[in-house]
Amino acid sequence: MSAKIETKCIHEGWKPKKGEPRQLPIYQSTTFKYDTSDEMGRLFDLEEDGYFYSRLANPTTDAVAKKICELEGGYAAILTSSGQAANFFAVFNICEAGDHILSSSSIYGGTYNLFGVTLKKMGIDCTFVDPTLPEEELAKYIKPNTKAVFGETITNPTVSILDIEKFAHLAHSHGVPLIVDNTFATPVNCRPFEWGADIVVHSTTKYMDGHSVTLGGCVVDSGNFDWTAYPDKFPGLTTPDESYHGITYTERFGKGAYITKITSQLMRDLGAVQTPQNAFYLNLGLESLHLRIQRHCENALAVAKFLKNHEKVLWVHYAGLEDDEYHELAQKYMPSGTCGVLSFAVKGGRQSSIDFMDKLKFISIVTHVADAKSCILHPASHTHRQMTDEQLREAGVEPDLIRLSVGIENIDDIIADIAQALE
Ligand SMILES: *Cc1c(COP(=O)(O)O)cnc(C)c1O
């Protein structure tokens, strides 16, 4: 029987043998030694497993990738230097110029820009769709050159919930994989593979690290999508890679094809690696992830209820609230809780929201979320400040929306800080 998630958070990835360090060691080395030239040659041919250069693989980062893979219930995983790099690799591994992807429009601003602007410059088109549309409507936006469908389990900053099964069905009935960004829910609260997602991506910068220490990302493959069933759609996986001695990834690596291709092509050429030192910090965060997530959710629900009943608050979005429009989806996909992030607005418009934030004492104004320390941001003044009120509304971000990331401090102190700032 496989271990429960709490135990996996602590024990997966690094399993020391006799006399080895109990804690994951930091292999602070760019390179690894071999005895003969032939041994090294076999590694380059991917004929043998082994480390040779830390841009491709390193024992510390590999151990942490393995832990996240086990938490998600995946087949293989790779760490990246940031969440942005993870999302880019996840898509670019199966798309090239002339291809198209379909993405939920309610996604993180950085990903929206990556898909809508930067991928476009590389010849990959993205159609953004309202994720609440019925499947038949969504299907109208799939094209013959569509190679992937994308969504976020819990969206940043609007905290809506993705109907993962609907999106998986849409993707699979058109022969493409569903890629899900599971950053806010984390595998402690939701495991998208159990609902049909094929690839999961993370910004490990958020709850997984959890202490605002280190940027990072991760791509996890379930191993469930059969690329060989659609060889014309995914030639990069199903035909020989001339840049790698004519290896055909699906033939040689089976369920490991997708992640091996990221390592041996994208990491080799683009080099967005996570350093062993950063992976070590990330691993410390992962060890307490299950405890922190539980407290984040308890605290956020209490804050959401407090705000809901406060006369100076206009509205609150938190899927943990029973009357929230996403409560039902949250109950289905993440019954033990959603996350610590919620959004709300203070009565009186944009300026009242700003005045409220300026009066807070320990809840700090930072461009960050999903951290042990409570923090707050006003997207219209910060992350989205170049947009007009009209553009903000189009992106689903109200000009008075405040994004509050509830930390793991004592709940009475958090509520007291919010209460005095509202007065
Ligand atoms: C922060 C975030 C990202 C980007 O991650 P970085 O580590 O900042 O590059 C992507 N997706 C979501 C949902 C995020 O919250």
Lowest mean pLDDT among 56-70, 127-141, 330-344, 369-383: 369-383
Closest by alpha carbon to 300, among 197, 220, 371, 203?
A: 371
Check whether residue 232 and residue 320 sit in a common domain: no
Question: In this model, does residue 1 exceed pLDDT 70?
Answer: no
Check whether residue 274 and residue 353 sit in a common domain: no
**Of 181 and 50, which is predicted with more confidence?**
181
> From the CB of 146, is ligand 1 less than 6 Å away?
no
Task: Provide φ and ψ at 310, rounded to 5°.
Answer: -90, 135
* CA 394 / ligand 1 centre spacing (Å): 21
Give pLDDT, residue 306: 98
User: 16-42 as b/e, with b when 16 or more CB fall inside 10 Å?
Assistant: eeeeeeeebebbeeeebeeeeeeeeee
Two tokens, residue 422: 């509202």
The mean pLDDT of the chain is 95
> Which of 79, 84, 190, 368 should be mutated for ligand 1, with most atoms under 8 A from CB?
84
Give pLDDT, residue 407: 98
Give the domain CATH number at 321: 3.90.1150.10
Two tokens, residue 245: 């001695």
pLDDT, tens digit (0-9, with 9 covering 90-100), for 163-173 = 999 999 999 99
Task: Count up the domains in the chain and report the number.
Answer: 2
Check whether residue 306 and residue 418 sit in a common domain: yes
> From the CB of 398, is ligand 1 less than 6 Å away?
no
Check whether residue 366 and residue 311 sit in a common domain: yes
Residue with tokens 């994951």: 24
Mean pLDDT for the stretch of residues 73-92: 98
Q: Where is the domain boundary, 284, 318, 349?
A: 284
Amino acid, single-letter form, for residue 416: A
Residue with tokens 């082994």: 50
> From the CB of 108, is ligand 1 less than 6 Å away?
yes
Check whether residue 370 and residue 263 sit in a common domain: no
Q: Where is the domain boundary, 284, 309, 326?
A: 284
Check whether residue 386 and residue 267 sit in a common domain: no
Check whether residue 295 and residue 222 sit in a common domain: no
Check whether residue 67 and residue 106 sit in a common domain: yes
Domain range enclosing 407: 290-422
Check whether residue 278 and residue 306 sit in a common domain: no
For residue 299, what are the CA distances in angstroms to 74, 229, 320, 323? 30, 46, 11, 18
Give pLDDT, residue 313: 96
Closest by alpha carbon to 408, among 207, 259, 260?
A: 207
Give pLDDT, residue 390: 81
pLDDT, tens digit (0-9, with 9 covering 90-100), for 90-127 = 999 999 999 999 999 989 989 999 999 999 999 999 99
Give pLDDT, residue 41: 87
Q: Pairing between strand 125-129 and 341-346? A: unpaired
Check whether residue 133 and residue 213 sit in a common domain: yes
pLDDT, tens digit (0-9, with 9 covering 90-100), for 308-358 = 999 999 999 999 999 999 999 999 999 999 999 999 999 998 889 889 999
Give pLDDT, residue 276: 98
Closest by alpha carbon to 401, among 318, 321, 300?
A: 318
Check whether residue 182 and residue 309 sit in a common domain: no
Question: In this model, does residue 131 exceed pLDDT 90?
Answer: yes
User: How far is Cα 83 from Cα 143, in angstroms, rounded to an integer?
Assistant: 27
Give the domain CATH number at 130: 3.40.640.10
Mean pLDDT for the stretch of residues 46-53: 86
For residue 249, what are the CA distances in angstroms to 10, 169, 238, 413? 32, 26, 6, 54
Give pLDDT, residue 216: 98
pTM for the structure as a whole: 0.96
* CA 83 / ligand 1 centre spacing (Å): 5
> From the CB of 111, is ligand 1 less than 6 Å away?
yes
> Which of 87, 183, 273 should be mutated for ligand 1, with most atoms under 8 A from CB?
183
> From the CB of 215, is ligand 1 less than 6 Å away?
yes
pLDDT, tens digit (0-9, with 9 covering 90-100), for 248-304 = 999 999 999 999 999 999 999 999 999 999 999 999 999 999 999 999 999 999 999
Q: How many CA atoms lie within 13 A of 306 on its CB side?
A: 19
User: Are the C-beta atoms of residues 407 and 414 closer than 8 Å to each other?
Assistant: yes
User: How far is Cα 166 from Cα 180, in angstroms, rounded to an integer?
Assistant: 12
Q: Where is the domain boundary, 244, 264, 284?
A: 284
Q: How confident is the model at residue 48 (pLDDT cuts 50, 70, 90)?
A: confident
Give pLDDT, residue 42: 87
> From the CB of 206, is ligand 1 less than 6 Å away?
yes
pLDDT, tens digit (0-9, with 9 covering 90-100), for 379-402 = 888 878 877 888 777 767 888 999
Q: How confident is the model at residue 209 (pLDDT cuts 50, 70, 90)?
A: very high
pLDDT, tens digit (0-9, with 9 covering 90-100), for 220-252 = 999 999 999 999 999 999 999 998 889 999 999
Q: How confident is the model at residue 44 (pLDDT cuts 50, 70, 90)?
A: confident
Check whether residue 62 and residue 201 sit in a common domain: yes
